[in-house]
Amino acid sequence: MSYSKTVVLPVSPDEAYALITEPERLRRWQTVSAVVDLRAGGNYRWTITPGHTAAGTYREIEPGRRIVFGWGWVGSDTLPPDASAVTITVEPAADGGSQVTLTHEGLDGEQAQAHAKGWDHYLERLGRIAGSGDAGPDEWAAMPESIDPLSAAEAALAALQPVLRRLTPADQPKPTPCADFTCRAVADHLMTSMEQLGAMAGATVTNPNNGSLENRVSVMAAEAIDGWRQVDLSGTVPGPGGGEMPASMAAGILPIEIAVHGWDIAQSSGQPFALPDDLVAYLRGIAETLVPGGRGSAFADEAPTPINASPLDQLAAYTGRTPLNA
């Protein structure tokens, strides 16, 4: 069975093609992270929602007009990578915009039904970003379907990305709840953390050193998370002091780093930063295994919180942070 849908976008065909092929644009409407080798025979890997990654090979590329790629899900027995095929064509529309047609073939009935729901959701978001430049947060990426340290890190990253996109040059030197750190310094620290945490998993995380802060943090966080997906979390990994530490505990540092420093950056720039309460509760459980041993070095003493503080503000207070408006 197959799925096919056409949407008309108020942007040029070149811009429409960029929206469906460039990682920084894909993250704005469809993916949490995206690795793209856009050539016939090149591979792609898109984390669509936390814990769910589509992957495959580009089969045909007509720059600016058409792409064909294999589609499937990492870890799936019924629809593994490259088991089906997606074709996207871009054509000029009569009104000066563009017409995008997506066809997904090679699915059974159940798969076609599930993918139709997904493609309808994301094509609607594609229309939103083409129309206004902002598709808004993707509610499907807010809470992992199955939560573990890595899917929690992906959900925290999805919440952080729009905050980083909206940062202005005037925001970067502003103070944050993280003592002695400006907004930009927190972002730089987060990138360094991704390098170090990736190395603990035996992965190489490379700082792009150019592009937006959102792009740099997103690329590095995705590399670190992918590295940890190769680690047996029931074992041990090299710890920061030279000894060994439980891999599950080390992996838990990833979502805490992204979530807490995301909160810092949002506080500094006066932006909202929202995580579902169930995700925050999971992060609080991780924090209670990590933070006490780091008091006085990585973490300050727990800060007081108002009686009506949100679970996320309470988590930040547990790590030693006080909201800037307190």
Q: What is the pLDDT of residues 205-240, one digit of tens each?
A: 999 988 899 999 999 999 999 999 999 999 999 887
Q: Name the percent of the chain lying above pLDDT 70.
A: 100
Average pLDDT, the chain: 95
CB-based burial, 185-196: b 16+ in 10 Å, e otherwise = bbbbebbebbbe
With CA atoms as reference, report the closest residue to 304 among 285, 290, 323, 287.
Answer: 323
Question: Strands 33-36 and 43-49: what pairing?
Answer: antiparallel
The tally of CA atoms less than 13 A away on the side-chain side of residue 323 is 15
Residue 326 has pLDDT above 60, yes or no: no
Helices 213-228/247-269 angle, 10° precision: 170
Residue type, 231: V
Which part of the chain is CATH 3.30.530.20?
2-132
Beta strands in the chain (DSSP E): 2-9, 33-36, 43-49, 52-62, 66-71, 84-92, 98-105, 236-238, 244-246
Q: What is the CATH number of domain 142-318?
A: 1.20.120.450
Question: Per-residue pLDDT averaged across 107-117, rounded?
Answer: 97
Query: Against a cut of 0.75, is the pTM above it?
Result: yes
Q: What is the CATH number of domain 2-132?
A: 3.30.530.20
Q: Which ranges of 133-212 would DSSP assign to H, the alpha helix?
A: 149-165, 183-200
Helix (H/G/I), strand (E/B), else coil: 148: coil
pLDDT tens digits, one per residue of 237-258 = 988 777 899 999 999 999 999 9
Which part of the chain is CATH 1.20.120.450?
142-318
The two three-digit tokens of residue 118, written as one number: 């997904």
In this structure, is the dihedral angle defined by the CA atoms of residues 145, 311, 170 and 205, taken in order, positive or negative?
A: negative
pLDDT of the residue at 298? 82
pLDDT of the residue at 275? 97
